[in-house]
Amino acid sequence: MTIDQTVQQNHLSVRSRIYRILSDTEGTFSKKELAEMCGISMPTLHQNLKELIDAGLISYTDEWQHTGGRRARGLDIVPDARFSVGIFFNKNTFRIVAADLRLREMAYDSMPFDFDSCLEGTAPKVSNLLEQFLVNTSLDSSRLLGVCVAVPGLISKDQTTIEFAPTLGIRDFPLSRLLGDIPYPVHIVNDATASGRAEHFMRKQNGNMAYLSLENGVGGAVVINDSPYDGDHSRSGEFGHICVEPGGLPCSCGKLGCLEPYCSPNRIKTSLGISIDDFFKNVEEHDPVSISLFFDMLRHLAIGINSIRMTLDCDVVLGGFLSEYLVPYLDILRNYVLAGNPFEENADFVQFSTLRKHITPLGAALYYIRRFVENV
Protein backbone atom coordinates (compact mmCIF):
# COMPACT_ATOMS: atom_id res chain seq x y z
CA MET A 1 0.00 0.00 0.00
CA THR A 2 1.38 3.42 -0.97
CA ILE A 3 1.62 6.39 1.41
CA ASP A 4 -1.23 8.12 -0.46
CA GLN A 5 -3.41 5.01 -0.14
CA THR A 6 -2.66 4.76 3.58
CA VAL A 7 -3.58 8.42 4.14
CA GLN A 8 -6.80 7.97 2.17
CA GLN A 9 -7.72 4.82 4.12
CA ASN A 10 -7.14 6.54 7.46
CA HIS A 11 -9.23 9.48 6.31
CA LEU A 12 -12.09 7.21 5.31
CA SER A 13 -11.78 5.41 8.64
CA VAL A 14 -12.22 8.68 10.57
CA ARG A 15 -15.18 9.72 8.44
CA SER A 16 -16.78 6.31 8.84
CA ARG A 17 -16.22 6.37 12.60
CA ILE A 18 -17.92 9.75 12.93
CA TYR A 19 -20.88 8.60 10.89
CA ARG A 20 -21.23 5.31 12.76
CA ILE A 21 -21.30 7.09 16.13
CA LEU A 22 -24.08 9.37 14.91
CA SER A 23 -25.94 6.49 13.31
CA ASP A 24 -25.73 3.93 16.11
CA THR A 25 -26.44 6.17 19.09
CA GLU A 26 -29.77 7.71 20.06
CA GLY A 27 -29.82 11.49 20.35
CA THR A 28 -27.55 14.16 18.90
CA PHE A 29 -23.96 15.21 19.53
CA SER A 30 -22.03 18.46 19.65
CA LYS A 31 -18.77 18.84 17.73
CA LYS A 32 -16.81 18.75 20.98
CA GLU A 33 -18.45 15.47 22.01
CA LEU A 34 -17.78 13.90 18.60
CA ALA A 35 -14.11 14.93 18.61
CA GLU A 36 -13.63 13.44 22.09
CA MET A 37 -15.40 10.19 21.19
CA CYS A 38 -13.36 9.78 18.00
CA GLY A 39 -10.09 10.85 19.57
CA ILE A 40 -9.38 13.43 16.87
CA SER A 41 -8.59 17.14 16.72
CA MET A 42 -11.21 19.76 15.97
CA PRO A 43 -9.66 20.66 12.57
CA THR A 44 -9.80 16.96 11.54
CA LEU A 45 -13.40 16.77 12.74
CA HIS A 46 -14.38 19.92 10.81
CA GLN A 47 -12.85 18.56 7.59
CA ASN A 48 -14.76 15.28 7.85
CA LEU A 49 -18.01 16.92 8.92
CA LYS A 50 -17.87 19.20 5.88
CA GLU A 51 -17.55 16.21 3.57
CA LEU A 52 -20.44 14.40 5.25
CA ILE A 53 -22.65 17.50 5.22
CA ASP A 54 -21.81 18.26 1.57
CA ALA A 55 -22.76 14.67 0.72
CA GLY A 56 -26.14 15.18 2.43
CA LEU A 57 -25.46 12.42 4.95
CA ILE A 58 -25.48 14.44 8.18
CA SER A 59 -26.94 17.79 9.19
CA TYR A 60 -27.35 20.16 12.08
CA THR A 61 -30.55 19.62 14.03
CA ASP A 62 -32.91 21.92 15.90
CA GLU A 63 -31.67 20.40 19.16
CA TRP A 64 -29.02 22.21 21.14
CA GLN A 65 -26.34 20.66 23.33
CA HIS A 66 -25.13 22.17 26.62
CA THR A 67 -21.35 21.87 26.62
CA GLY A 68 -20.50 23.96 29.68
CA GLY A 69 -20.35 27.27 27.83
CA ARG A 70 -22.66 28.50 25.13
CA ARG A 71 -25.13 26.05 23.65
CA ALA A 72 -23.86 24.11 20.61
CA ARG A 73 -26.03 22.91 17.75
CA GLY A 74 -26.49 19.17 17.62
CA LEU A 75 -25.44 16.90 14.76
CA ASP A 76 -27.25 13.84 13.47
CA ILE A 77 -27.48 11.68 10.35
CA VAL A 78 -30.03 12.39 7.63
CA PRO A 79 -32.00 9.11 7.86
CA ASP A 80 -33.62 9.29 4.43
CA ALA A 81 -30.41 10.21 2.58
CA ARG A 82 -30.41 6.59 1.45
CA PHE A 83 -32.83 3.71 1.78
CA SER A 84 -32.84 -0.05 1.46
CA VAL A 85 -35.55 -2.42 0.27
CA GLY A 86 -36.34 -5.71 1.94
CA ILE A 87 -38.52 -8.39 0.35
CA PHE A 88 -39.99 -11.47 1.98
CA PHE A 89 -42.22 -14.00 0.35
CA ASN A 90 -43.57 -17.44 0.99
CA LYS A 91 -45.80 -19.63 -1.16
CA ASN A 92 -48.76 -17.28 -0.90
CA THR A 93 -47.66 -13.75 0.02
CA PHE A 94 -45.17 -11.17 -1.24
CA ARG A 95 -44.16 -8.49 1.30
CA ILE A 96 -41.93 -5.52 0.54
CA VAL A 97 -40.67 -2.66 2.68
CA ALA A 98 -38.46 0.40 2.20
CA ALA A 99 -36.46 1.41 5.28
CA ASP A 100 -34.33 4.46 6.01
CA LEU A 101 -30.87 4.38 7.56
CA ARG A 102 -32.33 3.95 11.06
CA LEU A 103 -34.41 0.98 9.88
CA ARG A 104 -37.57 3.03 10.11
CA GLU A 105 -40.30 2.00 7.73
CA MET A 106 -40.77 4.42 4.82
CA ALA A 107 -43.25 2.37 2.81
CA TYR A 108 -44.75 -1.11 2.90
CA ASP A 109 -46.93 -3.28 0.71
CA SER A 110 -48.22 -6.83 0.75
CA MET A 111 -49.89 -8.76 -2.01
CA PRO A 112 -50.91 -12.31 -2.96
CA PHE A 113 -48.08 -14.29 -4.53
CA ASP A 114 -48.52 -17.78 -5.95
CA PHE A 115 -44.96 -19.09 -5.98
CA ASP A 116 -45.85 -22.37 -7.65
CA SER A 117 -47.71 -20.83 -10.58
CA CYS A 118 -44.81 -18.56 -11.53
CA LEU A 119 -41.91 -20.88 -10.70
CA GLU A 120 -40.38 -20.65 -14.18
CA GLY A 121 -40.93 -16.90 -14.45
CA THR A 122 -40.25 -15.80 -10.88
CA ALA A 123 -37.36 -13.44 -11.68
CA PRO A 124 -39.29 -11.05 -13.95
CA LYS A 125 -42.28 -11.18 -11.61
CA VAL A 126 -40.18 -10.19 -8.57
CA SER A 127 -38.46 -7.42 -10.54
CA ASN A 128 -41.79 -6.06 -11.81
CA LEU A 129 -43.30 -6.03 -8.31
CA LEU A 130 -40.24 -4.17 -7.03
CA GLU A 131 -40.39 -1.51 -9.74
CA GLN A 132 -44.13 -1.11 -9.23
CA PHE A 133 -43.53 -0.58 -5.52
CA LEU A 134 -40.88 2.12 -6.15
CA VAL A 135 -43.17 3.95 -8.56
CA ASN A 136 -46.27 3.73 -6.34
CA THR A 137 -44.38 5.06 -3.30
CA SER A 138 -42.48 7.79 -5.24
CA LEU A 139 -39.16 6.57 -3.86
CA ASP A 140 -36.07 7.87 -5.65
CA SER A 141 -34.22 4.81 -6.93
CA SER A 142 -30.97 6.80 -7.16
CA ARG A 143 -30.90 6.67 -3.34
CA LEU A 144 -31.57 2.93 -3.21
CA LEU A 145 -28.65 1.08 -1.61
CA GLY A 146 -29.80 -2.37 -2.64
CA VAL A 147 -32.47 -5.04 -2.41
CA CYS A 148 -32.23 -7.93 0.02
CA VAL A 149 -34.64 -10.84 -0.34
CA ALA A 150 -35.51 -13.07 2.62
CA VAL A 151 -36.65 -16.60 1.86
CA PRO A 152 -37.68 -19.51 4.11
CA GLY A 153 -34.78 -21.75 3.20
CA LEU A 154 -31.06 -22.51 3.35
CA ILE A 155 -28.83 -20.33 1.17
CA SER A 156 -25.51 -21.54 -0.24
CA LYS A 157 -22.44 -19.70 1.06
CA ASP A 158 -21.63 -18.45 -2.44
CA GLN A 159 -25.09 -16.83 -2.74
CA THR A 160 -25.95 -18.75 -5.92
CA THR A 161 -28.50 -21.31 -4.75
CA ILE A 162 -31.38 -21.91 -2.39
CA GLU A 163 -30.18 -25.30 -1.20
CA PHE A 164 -33.40 -26.36 0.51
CA ALA A 165 -36.68 -24.58 1.20
CA PRO A 166 -39.21 -27.20 2.30
CA THR A 167 -42.13 -24.78 2.72
CA LEU A 168 -41.56 -23.59 -0.87
CA GLY A 169 -41.09 -27.15 -2.11
CA ILE A 170 -37.74 -26.44 -3.78
CA ARG A 171 -34.21 -27.79 -3.54
CA ASP A 172 -31.02 -26.57 -5.29
CA PHE A 173 -32.92 -23.67 -6.82
CA PRO A 174 -30.64 -21.25 -8.78
CA LEU A 175 -30.98 -17.72 -7.42
CA SER A 176 -30.70 -16.32 -10.93
CA ARG A 177 -34.22 -17.65 -11.53
CA LEU A 178 -35.42 -15.59 -8.59
CA LEU A 179 -33.34 -12.40 -8.60
CA GLY A 180 -31.70 -12.30 -12.01
CA ASP A 181 -33.83 -9.42 -13.36
CA ILE A 182 -33.39 -6.99 -10.44
CA PRO A 183 -31.29 -4.04 -11.72
CA TYR A 184 -29.90 -3.05 -8.31
CA PRO A 185 -27.37 -4.57 -5.90
CA VAL A 186 -29.06 -7.69 -4.56
CA HIS A 187 -28.50 -10.10 -1.70
CA ILE A 188 -30.46 -13.03 -0.29
CA VAL A 189 -30.83 -14.16 3.32
CA ASN A 190 -32.75 -16.71 5.35
CA ASP A 191 -36.00 -15.21 6.63
CA ALA A 192 -35.52 -16.05 10.31
CA THR A 193 -31.91 -14.85 10.21
CA ALA A 194 -33.10 -11.52 8.84
CA SER A 195 -35.74 -11.20 11.57
CA GLY A 196 -33.24 -11.98 14.32
CA ARG A 197 -30.76 -9.41 13.09
CA ALA A 198 -33.46 -6.75 12.94
CA GLU A 199 -34.51 -7.55 16.49
CA HIS A 200 -30.94 -7.31 17.77
CA PHE A 201 -30.42 -4.03 15.90
CA MET A 202 -33.54 -2.45 17.38
CA ARG A 203 -32.64 -3.53 20.93
CA LYS A 204 -29.44 -1.44 20.78
CA GLN A 205 -27.68 -3.69 23.23
CA ASN A 206 -24.41 -5.58 23.14
CA GLY A 207 -24.10 -9.24 23.93
CA ASN A 208 -25.66 -12.52 22.95
CA MET A 209 -29.13 -13.42 21.73
CA ALA A 210 -30.96 -16.36 20.19
CA TYR A 211 -34.01 -15.44 18.11
CA LEU A 212 -36.70 -18.08 17.58
CA SER A 213 -39.10 -17.29 14.74
CA LEU A 214 -42.52 -18.94 15.00
CA GLU A 215 -43.89 -18.60 11.49
CA ASN A 216 -45.28 -21.39 9.29
CA GLY A 217 -41.65 -22.38 9.02
CA VAL A 218 -39.85 -22.28 12.38
CA GLY A 219 -36.28 -20.96 12.35
CA GLY A 220 -34.03 -18.51 14.08
CA ALA A 221 -30.81 -16.57 14.33
CA VAL A 222 -27.86 -16.39 16.70
CA VAL A 223 -25.95 -13.27 17.74
CA ILE A 224 -22.71 -13.72 19.71
CA ASN A 225 -20.76 -10.79 21.17
CA ASP A 226 -22.94 -8.41 19.16
CA SER A 227 -22.10 -10.15 15.86
CA PRO A 228 -24.22 -12.54 13.80
CA TYR A 229 -23.09 -16.14 13.97
CA ASP A 230 -23.81 -17.97 10.72
CA GLY A 231 -22.06 -21.27 11.43
CA ASP A 232 -19.69 -23.22 9.18
CA HIS A 233 -22.36 -23.92 6.55
CA SER A 234 -24.66 -20.90 7.03
CA ARG A 235 -27.14 -23.08 8.93
CA SER A 236 -26.92 -21.52 12.36
CA GLY A 237 -30.29 -20.96 14.02
CA GLU A 238 -32.18 -23.81 12.33
CA PHE A 239 -34.06 -24.24 15.61
CA GLY A 240 -37.15 -25.58 13.87
CA HIS A 241 -35.33 -28.86 13.35
CA ILE A 242 -34.35 -29.50 16.94
CA CYS A 243 -35.88 -32.88 17.81
CA VAL A 244 -38.43 -32.38 20.59
CA GLU A 245 -40.31 -35.69 20.23
CA PRO A 246 -38.34 -38.65 18.82
CA GLY A 247 -40.46 -40.49 16.28
CA GLY A 248 -43.12 -37.78 16.53
CA LEU A 249 -44.96 -35.64 14.01
CA PRO A 250 -43.60 -35.52 10.44
CA CYS A 251 -41.71 -32.35 9.51
CA SER A 252 -41.44 -30.67 6.12
CA CYS A 253 -37.71 -31.50 6.19
CA GLY A 254 -38.56 -35.20 5.96
CA LYS A 255 -37.68 -36.12 9.56
CA LEU A 256 -39.91 -36.89 12.54
CA GLY A 257 -40.39 -35.02 15.79
CA CYS A 258 -38.88 -31.62 14.91
CA LEU A 259 -39.92 -28.47 16.75
CA GLU A 260 -41.50 -27.02 13.61
CA PRO A 261 -44.50 -29.37 13.22
CA TYR A 262 -45.28 -28.98 16.94
CA CYS A 263 -45.06 -25.18 17.19
CA SER A 264 -45.80 -23.88 13.72
CA PRO A 265 -49.14 -22.10 13.17
CA ASN A 266 -49.70 -24.66 10.40
CA ARG A 267 -50.35 -27.26 13.09
CA ILE A 268 -53.52 -25.46 14.12
CA LYS A 269 -54.93 -25.50 10.60
CA THR A 270 -53.83 -29.09 9.97
CA SER A 271 -55.16 -30.46 13.27
CA LEU A 272 -58.37 -28.47 13.72
CA GLY A 273 -59.07 -26.90 10.34
CA ILE A 274 -59.57 -23.42 11.84
CA SER A 275 -57.78 -20.09 11.67
CA ILE A 276 -55.28 -19.00 14.29
CA ASP A 277 -57.69 -16.25 15.43
CA ASP A 278 -60.48 -18.76 15.98
CA PHE A 279 -58.10 -21.12 17.74
CA PHE A 280 -57.02 -18.58 20.35
CA LYS A 281 -60.60 -17.46 20.79
CA ASN A 282 -61.46 -21.08 21.58
CA VAL A 283 -58.54 -21.24 24.03
CA GLU A 284 -59.85 -18.16 25.83
CA GLU A 285 -63.27 -19.81 26.01
CA HIS A 286 -61.70 -23.00 27.43
CA ASP A 287 -62.67 -25.27 24.56
CA PRO A 288 -61.17 -28.63 25.68
CA VAL A 289 -59.86 -29.69 22.24
CA SER A 290 -58.16 -26.34 21.62
CA ILE A 291 -56.83 -26.20 25.19
CA SER A 292 -55.29 -29.66 24.83
CA LEU A 293 -53.54 -28.75 21.57
CA PHE A 294 -52.41 -25.38 22.91
CA PHE A 295 -50.72 -26.80 25.99
CA ASP A 296 -49.07 -29.50 23.91
CA MET A 297 -47.65 -26.74 21.68
CA LEU A 298 -46.39 -24.84 24.73
CA ARG A 299 -44.82 -27.95 26.22
CA HIS A 300 -42.86 -28.73 23.06
CA LEU A 301 -41.95 -25.07 22.60
CA ALA A 302 -40.47 -25.11 26.12
CA ILE A 303 -38.37 -28.16 25.20
CA GLY A 304 -37.00 -26.29 22.20
CA ILE A 305 -36.32 -23.15 24.24
CA ASN A 306 -34.46 -25.15 26.88
CA SER A 307 -32.32 -26.82 24.21
CA ILE A 308 -31.34 -23.39 22.91
CA ARG A 309 -30.71 -22.03 26.41
CA MET A 310 -28.59 -25.01 27.45
CA THR A 311 -26.52 -24.75 24.28
CA LEU A 312 -26.01 -20.99 24.02
CA ASP A 313 -26.72 -19.69 27.56
CA CYS A 314 -28.32 -16.45 26.38
CA ASP A 315 -31.70 -14.75 26.09
CA VAL A 316 -34.17 -16.54 23.83
CA VAL A 317 -36.37 -14.03 22.01
CA LEU A 318 -39.60 -15.24 20.39
CA GLY A 319 -40.81 -13.61 17.20
CA GLY A 320 -43.00 -14.39 14.22
CA PHE A 321 -46.76 -14.04 13.98
CA LEU A 322 -47.55 -16.94 16.35
CA SER A 323 -45.59 -15.18 19.12
CA GLU A 324 -48.03 -12.27 19.05
CA TYR A 325 -50.77 -14.61 20.26
CA LEU A 326 -48.58 -16.03 23.03
CA VAL A 327 -47.95 -12.76 24.91
CA PRO A 328 -50.80 -13.29 27.45
CA TYR A 329 -49.44 -16.77 28.19
CA LEU A 330 -45.81 -15.81 28.88
CA ASP A 331 -45.92 -16.85 32.54
CA ILE A 332 -47.31 -20.27 31.64
CA LEU A 333 -44.64 -20.76 28.99
CA ARG A 334 -41.89 -19.71 31.42
CA ASN A 335 -43.17 -22.23 33.96
CA TYR A 336 -42.95 -25.00 31.36
CA VAL A 337 -39.40 -23.88 30.60
CA LEU A 338 -38.43 -23.87 34.28
CA ALA A 339 -39.80 -27.38 34.72
CA GLY A 340 -37.13 -28.63 32.33
CA ASN A 341 -34.30 -26.35 33.45
CA PRO A 342 -32.13 -27.67 36.31
CA PHE A 343 -30.02 -24.54 36.77
CA GLU A 344 -32.26 -21.48 37.04
CA GLU A 345 -34.94 -20.17 39.38
CA ASN A 346 -36.70 -17.97 36.85
CA ALA A 347 -37.10 -17.88 33.08
CA ASP A 348 -36.79 -14.17 32.45
CA PHE A 349 -34.47 -15.07 29.59
CA VAL A 350 -37.59 -16.02 27.58
CA GLN A 351 -38.74 -12.79 25.95
CA PHE A 352 -40.87 -11.55 23.10
CA SER A 353 -39.65 -9.54 20.15
CA THR A 354 -39.78 -5.75 20.49
CA LEU A 355 -40.21 -5.36 16.73
CA ARG A 356 -43.57 -6.86 15.81
CA LYS A 357 -44.65 -5.46 12.45
CA HIS A 358 -42.91 -6.45 9.21
CA ILE A 359 -39.82 -7.68 11.02
CA THR A 360 -38.69 -10.07 8.27
CA PRO A 361 -38.58 -7.65 5.32
CA LEU A 362 -37.13 -4.98 7.65
CA GLY A 363 -34.45 -7.44 8.69
CA ALA A 364 -33.66 -8.05 5.04
CA ALA A 365 -33.43 -4.29 4.39
CA LEU A 366 -30.96 -4.01 7.29
CA TYR A 367 -28.30 -5.84 5.26
CA TYR A 368 -27.59 -2.90 2.94
CA ILE A 369 -28.10 -0.31 5.67
CA ARG A 370 -25.34 -1.85 7.80
CA ARG A 371 -23.03 -2.15 4.81
CA PHE A 372 -23.52 1.52 4.01
CA VAL A 373 -23.04 2.73 7.60
CA GLU A 374 -19.87 0.69 8.00
CA ASN A 375 -18.30 1.96 4.78
CA VAL A 376 -19.22 5.65 4.52
348 with 212, same domain: the answer is: yes
Q: Which pLDDT value is given to residue 164?
A: 87
For residues 106-132, give the mean pLDDT: 82
Q: Does 68 map to a domain?
A: yes
The CATH number of the domain where 67 resides is what? 1.10.10.10
Instruction: Average the pLDDT over each of 41-45, 122-126, 318-322 and give the range with the smallest value.
Output: 122-126
* pLDDT above 50: residue 1: no
Q: Does 203 map to a domain?
A: no
Q: Does 91 map to a domain?
A: yes
- Structural domain range at position 189: 81-195+359-374
Q: Which pLDDT value is given to residue 120?
A: 65
The CATH number of the domain where 333 resides is what? 3.30.420.40
* pLDDT above 60: residue 66: no
From CA 366, how far away is CA 194, in angstroms rounded?
8
* pLDDT above 70: residue 199: yes
85 with 9, same domain: the answer is: no
Q: Does 330 map to a domain?
A: yes
Q: Does 201 map to a domain?
A: no
Q: Which pLDDT value is given to residue 63?
A: 54
Of 77, 102, 129, the one marking the end of a domain is 77
Number of domains within the chain: 3
139 with 62, same domain: the answer is: no
Q: Which pLDDT value is given to residue 144?
A: 97
225 with 341, same domain: the answer is: yes
87 with 144, same domain: the answer is: yes
Q: Which pLDDT value is given to residue 154?
A: 87
Instruction: Average the pLDDT over each of 65-69, 172-176, 263-267 and give the range with the smallest value.
Output: 65-69
Q: Does 32 map to a domain?
A: yes
Of 77, 100, 122, the one marking the end of a domain is 77
pLDDT (tens digit per residue) in 301-316: 999 999 999 999 999 9
169 with 258, same domain: the answer is: no
68 with 88, same domain: the answer is: no
Band (pLDDT 50/70/90 cuts) for residue 206 is low
Mean of per-residue pLDDT scores for the chain: 88
Q: Which pLDDT value is given to residue 184?
A: 94
105 with 132, same domain: the answer is: yes
270 with 345, same domain: the answer is: yes
For residues 372-376, give the mean pLDDT: 88
148 with 249, same domain: the answer is: no
161 with 70, same domain: the answer is: no
Measured in whole angstroms, the distance separating CA 28 from the mean position of its chain's CA atoms is: 26
229 with 271, same domain: the answer is: yes
Band (pLDDT 50/70/90 cuts) for residue 4 is very low
